[in-house]
């Protein structure tokens, strides 16, 4: 009996020790893949610095790069749009200024500024259309009208053409002034009609037609009061056409030959800006 009790006591003491010996011991320094530390993926930056295999950028990194590229492209497109908007605004402002200028001239220029000068007279140096100002008076003179002069009838015809300008019907106004000049080239209204033909063509955007009409004022009516204005407007047309080499010469001519006029003052201002 005592022998059995002693055997049971020894067994009870040895069982815990056996259980403890059955627990596996993990070696932290082993290279086992299942218990590696630090976790996989840690220290990627160190791989870059150490010259190891290059890691591919993460999805978040790729998304950030794409977003940055899109922002750069948007900034570039915004710059282009701003430039275009400025160009459009400048064109609108020039058109508005042109119409305002036309309106102001309409309000002050309905009647002829002065009777047309003797057609054979020379201006002694005004030369804007290429033909000499002296020694070619016959080539510059208006054609002789086939219809007898009738001041009252001429005025009705001229006023009708001018009313078309007031109505902003520039196409018909251009046709009306051209017809007037063909029918009454020696009329006292002819110089004004020639000038307004230039203004109408300019309002239409016909720069070539406007330049030709303005040039003919000084060529055909060299003593007319509209000559300084027509030369100044001719310089503006040449500027719009890109003929900058002609602009300075015409402006200098206005300043030198027509001092004291509003056209000369404007020409002097433009010369200072060149």
pLDDT for 75: 84
38: cis peptide before it, omega within 30°?
A: yes
- What tokens does 126 get? 């005004």
Exposed/middle/buried for residue 138 (C-beta within 10 Å: 0-12, 13-18, 19+): exposed
Q: How far apart are CA 230 and CA 194, in angstroms?
A: 9
Q: Using the 8-state DSSP alphabet, how is residue 125 labeled?
A: S
- Domain ranges in the chain are 114-273
pLDDT of residue 10: 53
What is the per-residue pLDDT for 258? 96
Contact present, 251 and 270 (Cβ < 8 Å): yes
Q: What is the pLDDT of residues 41-63, one digit of tens each?
A: 444 444 444 445 555 668 888 88
**Residue written as tokens 């605004």?**
89
The predicted-structure confidence for 12-46, as pLDDT tens digits, reads as follows: 555 555 545 554 544 554 444 444 444 554 444 44
Structure token pair of residue 185: 């080239």
Query: Among 109, 116, 105, which residue's Cα sits nearest to residue 190?
Result: 116
Say yes or no to pLDDT of 88 above 90: no
User: Is 154 within 8 Å of 165 (Cβ atoms)?
Assistant: no
User: What's the first-to-final CA gap in the chain, in angstroms?
Assistant: 133
| Percent of the chain whose pLDDT exceeds 90 | 43
220 pLDDT higher than 60? yes
Helix ranges, the chain (H): 2-22, 44-49, 59-108, 137-140, 151-166, 170-183, 190-204, 207-220, 227-241, 244-257, 262-273
Band the pLDDT of 84: cuts 50, 70, 90.
Answer: confident
| pLDDT above 80 (res 146) | no
Residue 252 contacts residue 165 (beta carbons within 8 Å): no
Rounded to an integer, the average pLDDT of 181-204 is 95
The correct CATH number of 114-273 out of 3.40.50.300, 1.10.10.10, 1.25.40.10, 3.40.30.10 is 1.25.40.10
Query: Above 50 in pLDDT, residue 200?
Result: yes
Region 72-95: mean pLDDT is 74
Q: How far apart are CA 255 and CA 274, in angstroms?
A: 15
What's the pTM value of the predicted model, to 2 decimals? Answer: 0.55
pLDDT score, position 68? 87
Residue 135 pLDDT > 50, yes or no?
Answer: no
pLDDT of residue 78: 84
What average pLDDT does range 100-126 have in this prediction?
A: 45
- Band of residue 203 on the pLDDT scale cut at 50, 70, 90: very high
Spatial separation of the C-alpha atoms in residues 220 and 121, rounded to whole Å? 9
Task: Supply the pLDDT for residue 124.
Answer: 30
Q: What is the pLDDT of residue 81?
A: 84
Grade residue 171 by pLDDT with cuts at 50, 70 and 90. very high
């Amino acid at each position: 009996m005592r022998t059995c009790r002693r055997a049971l006591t020894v067994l009870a003491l040895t069982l815990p020790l056996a259980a403890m010996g059955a627990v596996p011991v993990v070696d932290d320094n082993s290279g086992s893949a299942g218990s590696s530390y630090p976790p996989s993926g840690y220290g990627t930056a160190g791989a870059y610095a150490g010259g190891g295999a290059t890691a591919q950028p993460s999805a978040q990194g790729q998304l950030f790069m794409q977003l940055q590229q899109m922002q750069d492209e948007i900034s570039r497109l915004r710059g282009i749009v701003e430039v275009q908007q400025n160009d459009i605004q400048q064109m609108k402002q020039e058109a508005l200024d042109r119409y305002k200028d036309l309106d102001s001239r309409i309000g002050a220029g309905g009647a002829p500024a002065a009777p047309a000068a003797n057609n054979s007279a020379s201006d002694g140096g005004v030369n804007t259309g290429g033909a000499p100002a002296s020694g070619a008076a016959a080539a510059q003179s208006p054609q002789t009208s086939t219809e007898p002069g009738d001041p009252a009838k001429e005025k009705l015809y001229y006023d009708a053409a001018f009313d078309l300008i007031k109505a902003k019907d520039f196409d018909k106004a251009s046709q009306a002034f051209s017809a007037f000049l063909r029918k009454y080239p020696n009329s006292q209204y002819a110089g004004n009609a020639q000038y307004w033909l230039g203004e109408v063509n300019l309002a239409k955007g016909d720069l070539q037609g406007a330049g030709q009409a303005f040039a003919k004022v000084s060529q055909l009516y060299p003593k007319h009061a509209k000559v300084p204005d027509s030369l100044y407007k001719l310089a503006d047309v040449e500027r719009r056409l890109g003929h900058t080499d002609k602009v300075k010469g015409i402006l200098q001519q206005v300043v030198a030959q027509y001092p004291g006029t509003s056209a000369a003052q404007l020409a002097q201002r433009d010369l200072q800006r060149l």
